Amino acid sequence: MPPTAAVQPSDVTHRMVPTPAGRAHVAELGAGPLVLLLHGFPESWYSWRRQLPALAAAGYRAAAVDVRGYGRSSRPTDIAAYGLRSLAEDNVAVVRALGEESAVVVGHDWGSPIAAHSALLHPEVFRAVGLLSVPYSPPGGPRPGDVFARMREDGGPGSDEFYVSYFQQPGRAESEIEPDVRGWLAGIYAALSAETMPPPDGPHPLFVREGGTIRERLPHDRLPSWLTEAELDYYAGEFERTGFGGALARYRNMDRDWEDLADLNGAVLSQPSLFLGGSLDSSTTWMGPAIEAHAHTLPGLHPASRLLDGCGHWIQQERPEEVNETLIRWLGDLDHPTRPR
């Protein structure tokens, strides 16, 4: 199977394993050292469909998880159940349920800070951490809610509201997304993908005008080439079944995490690490200072870490060949650190 081939749901082994939240759904392929794959918003295990066969072919046991609140995994009703400490405990439970003592953890988008904090909190379990699209930022600093409010006041277009602030009130974002899940997902995937994103001189799709919605600024006439109609159907089917409350609860815990993780303020992530981002991704633009600080905050950063030129946010789906090649090179260097790079 070529590295960029995409597995379908029926091609992998699906397991339901116990976690502190109840159960987690895991899709896995291959045998060898365990690599735990954590998706972001609004995705599922399926966002790793082009990594699972590549990692398996390279000699790894690749396990893509539906994060708490998504897909077939448990969805607690309490918003406070979606804090980073709780999600890290889920990941430890998954590793143990798969019969392993340790794993490499790789996350994209929200999966990136979940992976990083899993490694911070449980270094005995997570021996290395890969971060896609969202760079590592140590706990601490200003309260997140205040930061995002200032993005509207000082950095957003006019008086528009930053999407993270827009997501805070339960029910608000759900009311625009859930009546047409497929259409909203198609729009957000296109808006943040390099080949279909809106022109840079127009309104940014992640800022919301007063009284408006995210949907009204999303492209609705095209899909990026990395996403087929059938793949969009799979994503839409998952969220049509679950709704978005569990997924959005992660955003609604950011200030709570800021308090809950105060004992880790400024913590360096010392395990071997990798960072890959897209040069056209707003995440890497807005978080440029965090990337510049990686020399200090990620002392084990692999030299293959970089921004992929001309790539948007959905990095492992937009550019699977480069992501797979880099992941496999990094994973090989973890076990053979003296071989030429």
Hey, which residues are catalytic here?
Answer: 109, 313
Structure token pair of residue 134: 């969202």
Structure token pair of residue 309: 């030129």
Contact 24, 17 (CB under 8 A): yes
Contact 324, 50 (CB under 8 A): yes
Contact 226, 318 (CB under 8 A): yes
Neighbours of 309 (CB within 10 A): 10
Question: In sequence order, what DSSP letters do the residues of 307-328 get, joined into one string?
Answer: EETT--S-HHHHSHHHHHHHHH
Radius of gyration of the chain (CA): 19
Of the candidates 272, 318, 249, the residue with the CA atom closest to the CA atom of residue 47: 318
In single-letter form, the type of residue at position 87 comes to: L
State how far the Cα of 256 lies from the Cα of 240, in Å rounded to an integer: 28
State how far the Cα of 61 lies from the Cα of 110, in Å rounded to an integer: 22
- Rounded-to-10 torsion of CA 104, 106, 111, 115: 30
Neighbours of 236 (CB within 10 A): 17
Of the candidates 281, 338, 286, 328, the residue with the CA atom closest to the CA atom of residue 304: 328
Contact 122, 88 (CB under 8 A): yes
H-type helices in 34-141, by residue range? 52-57, 84-97, 111-121
Tell me the three state secondary structure of residue 24: strand
